[in-house]
Amino acid sequence: MHRAKTTKAHLGSPSDEANDAAAQDALPPSRTVVMIVANIKQFRFAFYEQIEKELRSTGIRLHVVYSASAPSEQSKGDSRDLPEPLGVKTPRSYWLKERILFQYLPISLLWRADLVIMVQSNGYMSNLALHLARLMGWRRLAYWGHGYNHQGDASSAAEKIKRRLACHVDWWFTYTHQTGKYLQQLGFPGNKTTVIENAVDTSLFGNEVTNAPPALQTALKSRLQIPEDACVGMFCGSLYADKQLAFLLDVARQIHLEQPNFRLIIIGDGPQRQWLLNSIVDQNWIHYAGAQFGRDKAIYFSISDFFLNPGLVGLAILDSFAAGLPFITSQYPGHSPEIAYLEHQVNGLMLPFDRQVYAQSVLDLIRNPARLSQLRTGALMSARRYTVENMVSNVANGIRQFLQSRLVNSGVNG
């Protein structure tokens, strides 16, 4: 995989590079930014390390306030601690079956901060206190998040509260251009919105897929009894209802009926694991691999031809692109914001939420190797854009632009 060329992502009218450099030079040294998150997940670790380094190079100190994961999350084993002083770990309490989080925040650090970035969540009790402080004139607050719950009920009280508070911050860091446009519809200024293009560090994974040893690929195919001429579909993700696993299996059966050399690999774990095992017990052409990580996971991706994900789409789309696998999904209504990364007929397919149409479209792709190859190329090109390096650049630019705007508004630069 090639290192991505970083790009700025703003919804307003961006300054040119010369003005950007001048704005950065105008910032006084030792500005402080604080991010407040519930916990530190493994997939975010590289982002925090890189953004801290990027900001420090221009005289901005970053602190990430976080707590231990909720009990239900700790069992996953994917939580980390950040090194001090970047990480500031604080006690916490969860209430109402983990729907409400109360964190004991370092008030003096927040008060000194030039910008506090908080996750857009009704369940974070600290958000209420920070909103109250802003109402009293403390204007240095930013939201980070999806804009709205993409799996929620827009008419619910929770979503009404989110809409009401969405414009009561001084800056927004939102995941995709799609959610950025949503914020503009609510009335939040585009020139105060940074689109971060949410990503994870897939460069190592992409390299592991690209450089997978042929001997290991041959051994895996032999163990799974996958013929050399087989066409292999991949699913990788958590096993729960929104992933539409029943739809996936029905589609796979239709494909296999017309194309007997089709095979399906399923990677992941979750509450529907036992249901899945019971559903495929007599179908030896479907291979359930359980949870896989690192090079072991990369080997499975390296022998696959495309990624089948008819249900909820999240960050797994980036693994698919990094491996050069076209991402095939449906018009399922509950997708996460990362669905915006899919470009129909460029890096994957967006199909109707209809089993017959979905199966036939995959069969058409299997029968057209040239088209499949084009989509694989498109997936790899997308992987070069949606990188953690690009995300770091976007977030850092947004932070610097906010800090510079505060200096201008306070009259420091005349």
> Are 263 and 231 a contacting pair, CB within 8 Å?
yes
Which residues, 6+ apart, have CB-to-CB distance to 58 below 8 Å?
Answer: 24, 27, 396, 400
> Are 78 and 42 a contacting pair, CB within 8 Å?
yes
Does pLDDT of 16 surpass 70?
A: no
Amino acid 13: pLDDT: 41
Amino acid 11: pLDDT: 57
DSSP string, 153-211: -TTSHHHHHHHHHHTSSSEEEESSHHHHHHHHHHT--GGGEEE-------HHHHHHHHT
pLDDT digits (tens, 9 = 90+) for 303-325: 999 999 999 999 999 999 999 99
Residue 40 to residues 117, 124, 245, 291, Cα–Cα distance (Å):
15, 15, 29, 20
**Domains parsed from the chain with CATH numbers:** 17-201+387-409 (3.40.50), 203-385 (3.40.50.2000)
Is the torsion defined by CA of 48, 49, 52, 55 positive or negative? negative
Mean pLDDT of 326-330: 98
> Are 10 and 195 a contacting pair, CB within 8 Å?
yes
pLDDT digits (tens, 9 = 90+) for 266-294: 999 989 999 999 999 999 999 999 999 88
Q: Which of 368, 365, 370, 369 is nearest to 348 (CA)?
A: 365
Amino acid 30: pLDDT: 79
Amino acid 198: pLDDT: 93
Q: Could you tell me the two tokens for 319?
A: 């693994």
Q: What are the helix (H) ranges across 211-322? A: 214-224, 245-258, 273-279, 294-302, 316-322
Give the whole-angstrom CA distance, residue 351 versus residue 344.
9
